[in-house]
Amino acid sequence: MVGDRLAAAQRGIALAEVIESAPIAPASGKRVARAAKAVGRVGAPAPTRAGRAPSRGAAGAFTGPFLSPSSLTRAERLKLVDGVERVIEGVFAHLPLKRARYGVDPVQRLRILRTQVDQLSSDEFHIELADVVTRLRDAHTRYAGPASLSTKVAALPFLVEMFGPAASPTYVVTRVAAGLDAAFKPGVVLEFWNGVPIDKAVRRHADEEVGGRTDSQRAWSVQSLTLRSLQYGPPPDEYWVVVGYRSSAADGAPTGSPREIKIPWRVVDPGEIDEMLPSGPTGRAATRLRHTRAVDPAAAIARRAKMLLFAPGALTGEQASAQPTPKSSSGRKAPTAKVIATELTGTLKATSLAQPDGAIAYLRIYGFDVPPEDFIPELQRLIPLLPDNGLIIDVRGNPGGYILAAESALQLFTPKPIQPTRFSILCTAFTRTLAALPGMEGELGPWKESLEAAVRNGELYSQPLPITSFAECNAIGQQYGGPVVLVADSTTYSSGDLFSAGFVDNGIGPFVCVGEATGAGGANVWDYEDLRLLMAGTDFELPTLPDGIGMSFAFRRATRAGPSEGLPIEDVGISGTPYAMTRDDLLAGNPDLLAHCFELLKRQRRSSLIVEASKTAREITVRHAGLTRLDVLFDGHPGSSLALRARAPVVVPYPAGTKVVELFGFGGEELLQKRRVEARR
């Protein structure tokens, strides 16, 4: 039964059965999707004038700004423009940056659009409004369709990735679902996309994507070549694509005769298999978590669709197995991996990688979309099961999630106190009113005074303050004692950016980045509907948006802490040691990337500190390596400072009534290890 449901979800519905398009010739020459004439599950033909729409209920599951067969009334269009304009002008954190960096004025464009509501067709209106938002180059700030589309993704049943130098990448197919021609398989090199040379097609599509740098725009363009969220953008213009490809040699050079394959777009829904909460959690602490997210919502949905098509077991809770690592055509082979079971199969993957000098741990964090009360304990459970010889944390493609989950996780991998990222709010009358609302004291109270002072001082932003408190960032302390290296790429975004920034700024270990830097999502994201409910009855009351339309937006901008204090993340990202993916990395389990990380780990100073609290006495046994001194605190008060002899265990007694014992291991003057132990009273 589960297998049948899974197969049906993977098969999805042909895009041609969902919507039939007729091209519109726009006066501006800009991309315009279609005048929707519905077939199949969509409903009746769409009117092209701005008249009242037919009933929403008749349209079934596939409705929304770009799939809807209906139109908005003139009043609804004006209300929609008004709501988006108020948010962008009143609370959008990056408005000054985007105006300066890209030479765009979204507020003026919206005012012009207000004068054109009678001239534009339904699709032209939605495309123009969405384009205003897309040109902000901010994946946090999205024009969204209704909740009925929240898990719907337009998909082609294969994945494309890039390797080689950024100036001249090679595009290779890395995953292929069942049912396609046998010659179209992982390893073939793409040469044409609908008759256009592949790199040119990618660059053209990048113009419709978010991303503040050329490399991140191209990376997102490649990602969305085959997976596109239907809630956060229009469906593809075409019902199918014609892909020109050739087989390739070990070095990636195309070989053999050119071939073509015609592949139809389909609409898949990972929500049919994995129940998702795209609007955030419910229950205790839900409000805080909803308002302290940092996520690219479109990429988060596409990630689930990728799992549905190519790793469905992760969605169904099936534990990954240690499959034989494929051998590349060049002869290189990734190390043998032993999977360590996790309860969060859609978010985490932990393995032990065999190496001659001892196994290395590998922890893949696909997202920070699990609430911290579940995410952090699962990390704590996994860490003792990981080899302590070294750890590679891989957050490539991580679209973000809960800020608290990302920033709280950093402490588990370092003895140093974590300094959290700072966030500031655009100073406007709107945000001052919001911060002064009853019930917002706990959430925005810390920023309220500086927002009010900005009127007198002429400040553009409020004081930068952390969302995750210093106490929350350091309540648990170090759990993994071996050296750590982090790997990210130019699609690592939002909370993934924050995790990368915290890793670098707190000096946890080397940072390897595929691309110039991370995706550069420097903000906390809020939803329009949440803000509308809060502002009801104020001078800045927001209209209810028609047609189930919504919007996400960057509310608090992030700036870095520690030695990089004050540096922005938005449009800049976090840079590290650059790395270019190889063909073997994409097709044979990352052997070159892993070898690069292994070398970095070998260069790191090694030490260990293993503590065991007695169950019968008030004492802790400490086993250590690579340390010269151990300092002990009892409930934050000095206890003892002990010189350590090589590998000789130490027994640390503690007084009655002690709640917490903290142990600090030094190698010379450098703090290398720290543990926090709940004492037996």
Give pLDDT, residue 668. Answer: 94
Give pLDDT, residue 289. Answer: 84
Angle at 78 between CA 77 and CA 79, to 5 degrees: 90
31 three-state secondary structure: coil
Q: Say yes or no to pLDDT of 112 above 70.
A: yes
Q: Say yes or no to pLDDT of 53 above 60.
A: no
Average pLDDT over residues 322-346: 80
Give pLDDT, residue 70. Answer: 62
Q: Say yes or no to pLDDT of 320 above 90.
A: no
Give pLDDT, residue 279. Answer: 43
Angle at 75 between CA 73 and CA 79, to 5 degrees: 115
Give pLDDT, residue 561. Answer: 95
* Of the listed ranges 125-134, 325-334, 544-553, 604-613, the one predicted with least confidence: 325-334
Q: Say yes or no to pLDDT of 234 above 90.
A: no
Give pLDDT, residue 314. Answer: 83
Q: What strands lie across the sheet with 608-613, from one edge to the other?
A: 608-613, 619-625, 650-653
Give pLDDT, residue 1. Answer: 55
Give pLDDT, residue 154. Answer: 95
Give pLDDT, residue 26. Answer: 39
Structure tokens at 3: 């297998």
Q: How many CA atoms lie within 13 A of 435 on its CB side?
A: 24
Residues of the chain above pLDDT 70, percent: 89
Average pLDDT over residues 539-553: 92
Question: For 354-402, what is each residue's pLDDT tens digit?
Answer: 999 999 999 999 999 999 999 999 999 999 999 999 999 999 999 999 9
Query: Beta strand 550-559 with 142-144: parallel, antiparallel or unpaired?
Result: antiparallel
Give pLDDT, residue 126. Answer: 87
Question: For 465-508, what is each residue's pLDDT tens digit?
Answer: 999 999 999 999 999 999 999 999 999 999 999 999 999 999 99
| DSSP secondary structure, 145-213, as one string | --GGGTT-EEE-SEEEEEES-TTS-EEEEEEE-TTS-TTS-TTPEEEEETTEEHHHHHHHHHTTS--SS
Give pLDDT, residue 41. Answer: 30
Q: CA-to-CA distance for 56 and 272, rounded, in angstroms?
A: 22
With the C-alpha atoms ordered 442, 298, 235, 206, is the resulting torsion angle positive or negative? Answer: positive
Confidence tier at 317 by pLDDT (50, 70, 90): confident
Average pLDDT over residues 23-36: 37
Give pLDDT, residue 27. Answer: 35
Q: Say yes or no to pLDDT of 38 above 50.
A: no
What residues contact 130, with CB distance under 8 A and at least 6 apart? 65, 66, 143, 233, 234
Give pLDDT, residue 670. Answer: 96
Give pLDDT, residue 511. Answer: 98
Q: What strands lie across the sheet with 227-229, from one edge to the other?
A: 13-14, 266-268, 153-155, 227-229
Question: For 274-297, what is each residue's pLDDT tens digit?
Answer: 764 344 455 546 777 889 999 999
Average pLDDT over residues 90-117: 96
Confidence tier at 404 by pLDDT (50, 70, 90): very high
Give pLDDT, residue 48. Answer: 33
Give pLDDT, residue 150. Answer: 87
How many residues does this entry show for the chain? 681
Q: Say yes or no to pLDDT of 310 above 90.
A: yes
Q: CA-to-CA distance for 380 and 652, rounded, in angstroms?
A: 24
Compute CA 477 distance to the chain's CA centroid, rounded to the nearest angstrom: 25
Structure tokens at 668: 């010379």
Structure tokens at 590: 């990352």
Give pLDDT, residue 405. Answer: 97
Phi and psi dihedrals of 229, rounded to 5?
-65, 130
296 three-state secondary structure: coil
Give pLDDT, residue 559. Answer: 98
Q: Say yes or no to pLDDT of 192 above 60.
A: yes
Question: For 140-161, what is each residue's pLDDT tens digit?
Answer: 999 988 888 889 999 999 999 9
Q: Say yes or no to pLDDT of 34 above 60.
A: no
Confidence tier at 49 by pLDDT (50, 70, 90): very low
Question: For 621-640, what is each residue's pLDDT tens digit?
Answer: 999 999 999 999 999 999 99
| Helix (H) or strand (E) run with residue 340 in it | strand 337-340
Average pLDDT over residues 515-541: 96
Amino acid at position 272, single letter: E
Place of tokens 């893949």: 364
Q: CA-to-CA distance for 96 and 106, rounded, in angstroms?
A: 11
What residues contact 363, with CB distance under 8 A and at least 6 apart? 348, 349, 350, 382, 386, 391, 392, 393, 394
Structure tokens at 587: 């097709």
Q: What is the dihedral of CA 313, 316, 319, 325, to 10 degrees?
A: 10
Give pLDDT, residue 246. Answer: 96
Give pLDDT, residue 327. Answer: 63
Its pTM stands at: 0.91
